[in-house]
Amino acid sequence: LLQGDAIVAEGSGVTVDRNIVTVTDAGVYTISGSLANGQIVVDTEDEEAVRLILNGVKIHNETGAAIAVLKAEQAVIELADGTNSVLSDGAEYVFADPEEDEPNATLFSKADLLIEGAGGLTVKANYNDGIGGKDDVVIRGGLLDVTAVDDGIRGKDSLTIEGGSITVIAQGDGLKSDNDEDAEKGIITIQAGEVQITAGSDALQAETNISIIDGAFVLTA
Q: Is the Cβ–Cβ distance between 185 and 209 less than 8 Å?
A: no
Q: What percent of the chain has pLDDT over 70?
A: 97
Distance, CA of 153 to CA of 82 (rounded, Å): 23
Distance, CA of 97 to CA of 25 (rounded, Å): 25
pLDDT at 48 over 60: yes
Distance, CA of 63 to CA of 9 (rounded, Å): 23
pLDDT at 207 over 80: yes
* Residue 171 identity: Q
* Residue 65 identity: A
Residue 17, burial from CB neighbour count under 10 angstroms (0-12, 13-18, 19+): exposed
What is the average per-residue pLDDT within 71-100? 94
Distance, CA of 75 to CA of 97 (rounded, Å): 24
pLDDT at 5: 67
Report the candidate in 66, 20, 70 with the shortest Cα–Cα distance to residue 50.
70
Residue 2 confidence class, pLDDT cut points 50, 70, 90: low
Query: Would you give the end-to-end CA distance of the chain in angstroms?
Result: 40
